[in-house]
Amino acid sequence: MQIADRARPSGARALLTGLALMLLVPLLSACGINAIPTYQEQARAAWAQVENQYQRRSDLIPNLVETVKGFAEQEREVLTAVVEARARATQTQINADQLTDPAAVQQFQAAQDELSGALSRLLVTVEAYPELRSNQNFLALQSQLEGTENRISVARRDYIEAVRVYNTELRTIPGRWIAAIFYSDAEPMQPFTATAGSETPPTVNFGN
């Protein structure tokens, strides 16, 4: 009989605990307990788009180089610079877990900026070759490069905004409190730093 009596309070406590948890879950959700992982995943998804667009540009370069080579093989130095810059950009990759590392993000950005500069120099060189500028393959590349540069600009902007939202949540209340209790390993992510001309996509013009 005594055992049964002791079991009743224990069962009541379990029931009360369950009810308390049921009440706390919506309260915690209303306080934004899920905001940090949600914003983190949104920033990572935005980063994936940045990588996708840079990869798209990288995939266009071999065709661009071969087309230029067919009309202006003497421009070996410029062509080599593009090929080498593409190789370095391809080798310099970071994953989502490294987005909190300023050095890794800076290294990635530097490699992509180097490739952008090499491409710009190549496109200036193209101006001296009217036949190349009227080539049908070049016309197709022009459209694809313009679209890709615009998509890169949009993807970078979206990533920067997603990182801003996530970092703000980590630094402000109640997000800072929630991070300290539930997400102690959460760290601010690194946005792209501003570079000269980064507010607008590069102009790709083959002289049409």
Nearest to 145 by CA among 49, 64, 51: 64
**Is it the case that residue 7 has pLDDT exceeding 50?**
no
Using DSSP's 3-state secondary structure scheme, residue 57 falls into helix
Which pLDDT score is estimated for 14? 63
High-pLDDT (> 90) share of the chain, %? 68
User: For residues 66 and 68, what is the distance between their CA atoms, to the nearest angstrom?
Assistant: 5
Integer angstrom CA distances of residue 16 from 5, 23, 25, 119: 17, 11, 14, 67
Nearest alpha carbon to residue 32 among 185, 154, 165: 165
Pseudo-torsion of CA 167, 168, 172, 178, nearest 10°? -50
pLDDT tens for each residue of 79-137: 999 999 999 999 999 999 999 999 999 999 999 999 999 999 998 998 899 999 899 99
> Which class for 177: exposed (0-12), middle (13-18), buried (19 or more C-beta within 10 A)?
exposed
What rounded mean pLDDT belongs to the chain? 84
Q: Which domains does the chain have, with CATH numbers?
A: 33-183 (1.20.1440.20)
10-17 average pLDDT score: 64
Backbone Cα Rg of the chain: 27
CA-CA distance, 99 to 3, in Å (whole number)?
57
Half-sphere exposure of 176 (CA within 13 A, CB side): 4
pLDDT digits (tens, 9 = 90+) for 173-183: 999 999 999 99
